[in-house]
Structure 1
């Protein structure tokens, strides 16, 4: 009776195939068809007046990005379209990859959605979400009694 082999996730299978191809051919030659779904990396910081979110979205047309704030949740949607062309003496190859992403995060404070600003520069999307007045808090000075 044949032995049952446990299921391996596709990423693990691709790593193993890459290792075998690298050993045999001396370089990785398999296309990246088994790559995990891509989502942009995010940095979230908070100042006294705003929450600032930076998203790494290289190669994405800024006009293809959709940013929404609903309640305390910021959502960034977009689509990555990538084409890689390679020509050699005896070959020609073009690989295309397309995929949409959605990234949602809970905001650490209530924000004024009417004043949210988004800018894009060098593949980085920066979203500044000003806090509502009540979310900023009020600093109370300490009086020293004599």
Structure 2
């Protein structure tokens, strides 16, 4: 897939890439850490698919929101364990969070967006509007 030819159809990819400061934050000052999941974006004739690598999470750990044409995928997980023995208490806790946002093109049918999570991969299917789908080649008769 060539981004040079398809930037008009995949502007949300460029938003995410160009707004990233590769040294620990984004252009708007939002810090990102090592736990920010990798994202793949695929385009077919009928849809776009965002795949986000997030192993170790479960479906309920994700929050997917659509506000205007901005799709935001986020997660916040807090874990705490306590072990008490005769003369000591061990308490451990962990916290991990991320947030990724994508500006969707006008060609996405926002009513029929679907998401699934399987084997550590969150997939968000963004179907294209009928008028945006690639139409098959046809012969036009001259009258």
Which TM-score band applies after superposition, normalised by the shorter structure? 0.5 to 0.7
- Aligned with residue 117 of structure 1, among 114, 122, 140: 114
What RMSD in Å do the two structures reach over aligned CA positions?
3.3
- The structure carrying a bigger strand percent of its residues is 2
Query: Residue 40 of structure 1 contacts residue 56 of structure 1 at CA under 8 Å; is this kept in 2?
Result: yes
Structure 2 alignment gaps of length 5 or more: 1-23, 25-31, 82-89
User: Structure 1 length normalisation: TM-score?
Assistant: 0.57
Offset, 1:116: 1.2
TM-score norm. by structure 2 comes to 0.58
Once the two structures are TM-superposed, the CA of residue 94 in structure 1 deviates from its matched residue by 6.9
Q: CA 1:70–1:131 in structure 2 vs 1: closer, same or farther (change >3 Å)?
A: farther
- Asked whether the 8 Å contact 2:70–2:103 carries over to 1, the reply is yes
Size of the alignment, in residue pairs?
A: 105
Matched, 1:52 2:44: no
Identify the structure with bigger relative contact order (alpha carbons < 8 Å, sequence gap 6+): 2
Matched, 1:107 2:65: no
Alignment match, 2:127: 130
Bigger Rg, structure 1 or 2: 1
Contact kept in structure 2, 1:49 and 1:130, CA below 8 Å: yes
